[in-house]
């Protein structure tokens, strides 16, 4: 088996798979220059492609000297903004969304045995123009099934795999000429399994040397008024209006990410590309500062010595976009079990946040 990775970022998905399943990474594709430098630092002999939209199966076959006997596992965490519930949701009409079409076309043209896609929760409801919710996913499932791939997919929360973070992501797994693979096996949080990992489990043991950005000076005094697990609604009443503004004050949605101090006793909220955003702040449980790069690494399950290249903001962005290592490990274990013949039934479980939509292959293609 040879591993081919698209939209690789800083390599979280690849690193996790390689940790659980003994394969060889022969090709990575990434357009961000800082992430490319990170990938080169860890895989100097791997062929490194650039923009997924500018490559092809033929070029990869040539660059990697592939033969018809090679068995391929193709994985990708293609750009998610066009599918996210935040934004215009242009889906496949967005240049970033078009990367998903390119990803699947390259994978099938490479005749990959296994295809793994990681993306945001919004993919489940993304639509092709005026069509029904979920038509994007439906389109790709039909595309794969017509080419004799069996597909399973589900929405998973990373904390069920030992990640000290609540992070919902869709994982789709396709296999050529075989029955669909079952869902990922939880390692934490279910009956008989260890409890969820918490933020305190992973960051309390870090040395007190941290690389981090800082909140604007005007917001520091409000963070200082809060203790672990609190947010803006716990500020003294006389400070709330000035701290958050009238719109937030009137919003019935809660906005619990505004002036949020994290708790050692719970998994971290989803890590983002910046810990200082006004509505999604990630403040240390005790100190008046955002989470650091070192803490981001621990929460995403990267080794402490895993090199991330670029400026401080570039490092936050790479780690915030990464697939947690232990999620990659769960995927690698699933592939290894399938190869070894340890087949489990493909059934829905209570592992995910909610049951993914079910589509019939008899439905008409969009």
**Each residue of 13-48: pLDDT tens digit?**
999 999 998 899 999 999 999 999 999 999 999 999
Question: How, if at all, do strands 114-120 and 24-29 pair?
Answer: unpaired
> Nearest to residue 122, comparing CAs of 136, 141, 111, 132?
136
Which fold does the domain 2-192+323-340 belong to in CATH?
A: Rossmann fold (3.40.50)
Q: How far is residue 175 from each of residues 20, 72, 82, measured CA to CA in Å?
A: 19, 11, 26
Average pLDDT across the chain, whole number:
89
Whole-prediction pTM: 0.91
- The percentage of the chain sitting over the pLDDT mark of 70, rounded to a whole number, equals 89
Q: Can you give the pLDDT at residue 350?
A: 36
Q: Which residues of 68-83 are buried (b: 16+ CB within 10 A; e: fewer)?
A: eebebbbbbbbbbebb
* 15 neighbors 323 (Cβ within 8 angstroms): no
Q: What are phi and psi of 156, to 5 degrees?
A: -120, 150
Number of C-beta neighbours around residue 143 at 10 A: 17
> For residue 83, what are the contacts with CB-CB under 8 A and spacing of at least 6?
89, 91, 97, 119, 120, 122, 123, 126, 136
> Nearest to residue 48, comparing CAs of 11, 18, 99?
11
Question: How, if at all, do strands 47-49 and 24-29 pair?
Answer: parallel
* 39 neighbors 10 (Cβ within 8 angstroms): yes
**Each residue of 125-184: pLDDT tens digit?**
887 777 777 888 998 999 999 999 999 999 999 999 999 999 999 999 999 999 999 999
- The percentage of the chain sitting over the pLDDT mark of 90, rounded to a whole number, equals 77
In the sheet that holds 2-6, the strands lie side by side as: 47-49, 24-29, 2-6, 72-76, 114-120, 168-176, 149-157
Q: Can you give the pLDDT at residue 14?
A: 97
The DSSP code sequence of 207-259 is: -S--------HHHHHHHHT--TT--GGGS-HHHHHHHH-HHHHH-TT--TTTT
Architecture in CATH for domain 199-321: Alpha-Beta Complex (3.90)
Residue 80: active-site member = yes
* 198 neighbors 188 (Cβ within 8 angstroms): no
Q: Where are the beta strands (DSSP E) in 50-193?
A: 72-76, 114-120, 149-157, 168-176
**Each residue of 324-358: pLDDT tens digit?**
999 999 999 999 999 988 766 544 333 444 444 33
Distance CA 363, CA 355 (A): 20
Q: Which of 10, 64, 74, 80 is catalytic?
A: 80
Number of C-beta neighbours around residue 227 at 10 A: 10
Say yes or no: do domains 2-192+323-340 and 199-321 share a fold.
Answer: no
What residues does each domain of the chain span?
A: 2-192+323-340, 199-321
Question: How, if at all, do strands 168-176 and 2-6 pair?
Answer: unpaired
């Amino acid at each position: 088996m040879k591993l081919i990775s698209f939209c690789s970022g800083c390599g979280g998905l690849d690193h996790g798979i390689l940790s659980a399943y003994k394969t060889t990474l022969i090709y990575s594709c990434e357009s961000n220059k800082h992430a490319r430098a990170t990938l080169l630092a860890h895989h100097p002999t791997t062929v490194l492609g650039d923009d997924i939209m500018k490559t092809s199966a033929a070029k990869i076959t040539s660059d990697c000297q592939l033969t018809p006997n090679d068995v391929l596992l193709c994985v990708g965490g293609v750009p998610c903004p066009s599918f996210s519930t935040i934004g215009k949701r242009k889906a496949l009409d967005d240049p970033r969304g078009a990367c998903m079409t390119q990803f699947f076309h390259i994978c099938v043209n490479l005749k990959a045995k296994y295809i793994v896609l990681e993306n945001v929760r919004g993919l489940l409801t993304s639509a092709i123009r005026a069509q029904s919710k979920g038509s994007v996913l439906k389109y790709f499932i039909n595309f794969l099934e017509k080419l004799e791939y069996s597909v399973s997919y589900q929405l998973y929360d990373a904390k069920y795999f030992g990640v000290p973070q609540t992070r919902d992501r869709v994982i789709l797994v396709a296999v050529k000429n075989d029955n669909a693979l079952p869902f990922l096996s939880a390692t934490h949080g279910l009956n008989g399994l260890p409890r969820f990992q918490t933020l305190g489990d992973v960051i309390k043991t870090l040395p007190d040397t941290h690389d981090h950005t800082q909140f604007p000076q005007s917001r520091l005094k409000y963070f200082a008024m809060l203790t672990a697990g609190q947010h803006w609604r716990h500020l003294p009443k006389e400070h709330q209006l000035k701290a958050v503004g009238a719109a937030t004050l009137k919003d019935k949605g809660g906005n619990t990410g505004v002036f949020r101090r994290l708790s050692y006793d719970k998994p971290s909220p989803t890590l983002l590309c910046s810990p200082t955003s006004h509505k999604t702040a990630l403040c240390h449980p005790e100190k008046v500062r955002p989470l650091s790069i070192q803490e981001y690494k621990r929460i995403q399950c990267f080794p402490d010595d895993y090199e991330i290249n670029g400026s401080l903001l570039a490092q936050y962005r790479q780690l915030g976009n990464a697939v947690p290592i232990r999620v990659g490990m769960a995927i690698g274990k699933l592939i290894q079990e399938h190869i070894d013949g340890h087949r489990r039934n493909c059934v829905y479980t209570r592992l995910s946040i909610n049951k993914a939509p079910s589509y019939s292959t008899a439905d008409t293609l969009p």
